[in-house]
Amino acid sequence: MKPVIGITMSLEQSKKQFLSQEYSDVIIAAGGIPFLLPYTVDDELIAEMSRLVDGLLLTGGGDIDPTLFDEEPHPGLGEIVPDRDEMEIALIEQFNAQRKPILGICRGCQILNIAMGGDMYQDLPGQKKAVLQHQQKAPRSHASHTIQIAEDSLLYSIFAKSLIKVNSFHHQAVRKVVSPLKVTAVASDGVIEAFESIAHEFVVGVQWHPESMVAKDDHAKRLFRAFVAACEKRKEKSAVFR
């Protein structure tokens, strides 16, 4: 059976849950079965959901509560939904404990870093000088700026390149990562574009939106294939020990 990938959805204060079809489409194309995770703050339900699926895809969306990394709200902070933050952090803790693969995209990358002890810029243009345009005025599939990838990284082994172009749709960004995470890609202005865990087989965060680039970009396809392959490997390993 194909690996089942749990996907978080966007959540509004009105309690509306939704997801761009791009996320489920790329998981299907990469050989996985997408499973949308409904929002709850019930710890038992979150634990059970984490046991039922083989990997976790943390998607993009709105802003993150700065009190999670001990900061007061910046004037540039947008709308936050605390229930989303709470559930995603609980999911991350469960998946890391079970050593299941995690891929965080944009907001997902940021909440993954916070859950593992890091922090972030609440509003990149307002808190960091001389930054690139990280909220591009171009189609979502367009690669707008370059990133430099560390050669001693999982990301480099997937792409086989140290310099690629990515799209960009964020005003928040990862600021500091702590062990076991390490930075694996940066933009030319120094903004962190990717990180990974050195203590897990596949725990990766990327700041861009590869799900919007797969139609034209082979690197995006490779990333999702590698993620689903890691989920399949973890599923097979779990089956051996049952």
Structure-token pair, residue 136:
């591009």
DSSP 62: S
15 by DSSP, 3-state: which? Answer: coil
Cα 121 from Cα 172, distance rounded (Å) = 5
Distant-in-sequence, close-in-space partners of 170: CB < 8 Å, separation ≥ 6: 60, 106, 107, 124, 134, 135, 207
Structure-token pair, residue 234:
């973890």
Cα 3 from Cα 232, distance rounded (Å) = 5
User: Given 200, 209, 231, 232, which residue is catalytic?
Assistant: 209
User: Given 22, 88, 106, 145, which residue is catalytic?
Assistant: 106
* Side chain identity, residue 129: K
106 in active site: yes
Residue 23 backbone dihedrals phi, psi, to 5 degrees: -65, -50
User: Given 22, 193, 196, 211, which residue is catalytic?
Assistant: 211
209 in active site: yes
Cα 120 from Cα 74, distance rounded (Å) = 12
Cα 160 from Cα 154, distance rounded (Å) = 10
**What residues act catalytically?**
106, 209, 211
